[in-house]
Structure 1
Amino acid sequence: MNSKPATATLLVSCPDRKGLVAAIANFLLTYNANIMHADQHQDLSEKLFLMRVQWELEGFTLPMESFGAAFAPIAAEHQMQWRVSLSTRKPRMAIFVSKYEHCLVDLLHRWRIGELDCEIPLVISNHEDCRRIVEFNGIPFHVLPVNKDNKAEAEAEQWRLMEEAGVDFIVLARYMQVLSERFVERYPNRVINIHHSFLPAFDGAKPYHRAFARGVKLIGATSHYVTEDLDEGPIIEQEVTRISHRDSVEDLVEKGRDLEKVVLSRAVRWHIDNRVLSYSNKTVVFD
C-alpha cells in the first residue's frame, strides 16, 4: 500500500479583495509547489476572504523552516492571518472525560484504526470510571478530582500535565466540568466540546430532559470550540435525529449518545485535518 504524500496545508483569512487567490498561488508556484487541494470562501457580510490550500512537499523548493519569513511580505500586504501545518507532524490531543464513556471509546477506536491521525499522550478525568478503557489502549490516565474549592489548583495541574506532554489541542468527551475563563484563554480555538443538544436550543444542563418537556420532534448534538461563554462557542458540526411522543427521556438519552459520538469525532477529524477556520464566533469547514 502506498503511503500518502507528505503535504503542507495553509489556512488564510483576510479582508476580501481582488487578486488574493493569485497572490497565494503565484507564491507557491515560485517554489514549484504541486497544489493538491484548494478551497475558498468569501463572507460577503463580513467582507472576509478565507482559504485552505494543500500542496505536496516533494519538489517544493522552499524549506518549510523558511516559509514564514518568505510568506510574511504577502501576508502583511493583504493583512492576512494565517497558519501552516505539516502532515509529517501529528498533532497531540488530550482528552478530558468524566463518567460517560461513549464519546471516549469512539475517539479511541477511530484513533487506533488510523482514522484520527494524531497522538494521544494523555487522558485526564475527574473520576476513575474510564481508567481501564484508557490504559487498555496504552495511554496514561490521570485522575484530578475537581470541586468548587480546588478548581484553580486542579486546572493548574492539568496545565502542567499538558505542557509536559506537549499537547496541541483538547477534546472534552463529555467532561462534566465548566472550564474557567483563564483555562479557555490559554487554548483559543483549541478546546473542542460536545453538547448533547442542537444548539442554540437547550444549552446548559439536562438538555434531553428539557427537550422532552418541550415535546420536540428532533433532538441533536453539537460540537463546538469552547469560549468563556458556556455553550456559545463557534459551531463545527451538528446532527439531528427524529423522535416521537412515544419516546421517554431515557430513549432520548440513548438516541442522543449515537449522535454525540459521531458529531464529536467528525469535528475532531476536521480540526486535525486543518479544515476549520473560526471567525466572528462561527466557522468555515472546508471540503
Structure 2
Amino acid sequence: MSDTTPAPQTHILTADSPSQPGTVDVVTRFLYQQGFYINEIHSFDDTDKERFFIRVEFRPDKEQVFDRDAFCSEFDKRASEFDMQWQLSSSPFKSKVVIMVSKHDHCLNDLLYRYRTGDLAIEIPAIISNHPDLEELAKWHGIPYYHLPISKETKPQQEAKVWKIIQDCEADLVVLARYMQVLSSDMCEKLSGKAINIHHSLLPGFKGARPYYQAYDRGIKLVGATAHYVSDDLDEGPIISQGVETVDHCYYPQDLAAKGRDIECLTLARAVRCHIEHRIFLHGQKTVVFSK
C-alpha cells in the first residue's frame, strides 16, 4: 500500500544584513533550535560593499505544525540584533506572472510550455500585447489576452491600462517576453525589481535594424542573450542571467537568429525561475543570484 501522507510544507528564508560575525549562525542556529531541517542553503559576503546575503530552504518534521506568526515574531528578535532585512515564503509557491509580448512568440511559447507542464510554478493571469497576433495562442491556454495598441501619442493611456491590469491581477512579476516597446520612466519605477526583460547579446554590439545580418557581415563568433530587471536605462538594468554559444562561418543570418531565439528562451526561463524561487537579491546596480 502506497504512502499517501503529504510531504511537509517547505519554507524559504531570504535575508541580507551588514557584514559581521555570526550572520550565518543567527539563521542556522535558530532553525536548529526550532527543530527544522535545512534542505538547501546559500550565502555570500560581499567584502567590497560589506553586505551579507543568505537564502535557506527548510522544512519541519512531518508531525510538526508550523506556526508562521510565532516563527516570524521569534526570528525577528534575533534578526534585529544584526540589522537584518528578511522575508519568508512558504509552499505551495505559485507566483502570479503577467507576460507582455509583441509579435515574436518564441519566448512566450517557451514560458507557456513550462507553465503548462508545471516546470515553472507560476500562474499566468494575463498576457498583454500591442499586437493581436498571439491572441489565439493565449486562448488555447485559457489565458486572458489584452490587445492594447500603442503609439507615441497614446503611450501614457496605454501604459495606464497596462498598469491597471497588472494591479488587478495582483501580479508578483511582469515578464517582457520580447515586448518591443520602451517602457516610460514612470512605468519602470513602478515595476522596479518586479519586471524582467530579455534581449539578444552580440559581441561586438550591433544596434538598430537586422542585428543578425550585421553580425553575419562581421563574421561573429558568439551569440548570446541577457535577462535583466527593467530599469530606466534601456537594456542596462541589473543582470540576472546570461547565455552564450559559439558560432562560426557556417551560420547564415537566419541560423544566427534561430540560435539566438533558443538562447533567449533558456536565459529568460532561467531568470524567471530564479525570481520566483526567491534566489535573487538586488544589490545596487547588480544582483546576487543563488542558482541551484
**TM-score, with structure 1 as normaliser:** 0.92
Q: Which residue of 2 aligns with 1:269?
A: 273
2:140 alignment counterpart: 136
**Cα drift, residue 223 of structure 1:** 0.8
Shift of 1:172: 0.6
Equivalent runs, 1:32-111 vs 2, <5 Å: 32-57=35-60, 63-111=67-115
AA at the equivalent of 1:9: I
Tell me by how many angstroms 1:204 deviates. Answer: 5.7
Residue from 4, 7, 17 that aligns with 2:10: 7
Displacement after TM superposition at 1:125 (Å):
0.5
Aligned equivalents of 1:183 and 1:204: distance in 2?
Answer: 24
2:202 and 2:215 in contact (8 A); partners too: no
How far the C-alpha of 1:244 sits from its partner, in A, is 1.9
Question: Which residues in structure 2 correspond to 1:162-201 (within 5 Å)?
Answer: 162-197=166-201
- Segment of structure 1 superposing worse, 162-171 or 29-38: 29-38
Percent identity, aligned pairs only? Answer: 41
Secondary structure of 1:196's partner? Answer: strand
Look up the match of 2:125: 121
What CA distance in whole angstroms lies between the structure 2 residues aligned with 1:225 and 1:66? 34
Quick check: 1:198–1:222 contact (8 Å CA) kept in 2?
Answer: no
1:20 paired residue among 13, 19, 23: 23
1:213 deviates by: 4.5
Q: Distance in 2 between matches of 1:4 and 1:126?
A: 43
Mark the runs of 5 or more structure 1 residues left unpaired by the alignment: none
Q: Secondary structure at the match of 1:109?
A: helix
Give the deviation of 1:221 after TM superposition: 0.6
Q: CA deviation at 1:38?
A: 1.1
Query: CA 1:4–1:234 in structure 2 vs 1: closer, same or farther (change >3 Å)?
Result: farther
In 2 relative to 1, CA 194–55 (structure 1 residues): closer, same or farther, beyond 3 Å?
A: same
Q: Please state whether the residue corresponding to 1:258 is helix, strand or coil.
A: helix
Q: Report deviation, 1:4.
A: 5.1
Residue 218 (1) aligns with residue 222 (2): yes
Matched position secondary structure for 1:39: strand
SS at match of 2:31: helix
- Counterpart of 2:245 in structure 1 is 241
Please report how far the alpha carbon of residue 245 of structure 1 lies from its aligned counterpart in structure 2 after TM superposition.
2.9
Question: Matched residues in 2 for 1:27 and 1:110: separation?
Answer: 36
Alignment CA distance shift 1:249-1:219 (3 Å) = same
Aligned residue for 1:99, secondary structure, equals: coil
CA-atom RMSD in angstroms: 2.1
Q: Residue 158 of structure 2 corresponds to which residue in structure 1?
A: 154
Contact 2:99-2:174 within 8 A present in 1 as well: yes
Aligned to 1:252: 256
Q: CA deviation at 1:222?
A: 0.8
TM-score between both structures, scaled by the size of structure 2:
0.90
Q: Distance in 2 between matches of 1:218 and 1:274?
A: 30
Q: Residue 197 of structure 1 aligns to a residue in which SS?
A: strand
Residues 210 and 135 of structure 1: CA distance in aligned 2, closer, same or farther (over 3 Å): same
CA distance in 1, matches of 2:229, 2:206: 14
Q: Counterpart amino acid of 1:238?
A: Q
Distance 2:229 2:287 in 1: 9
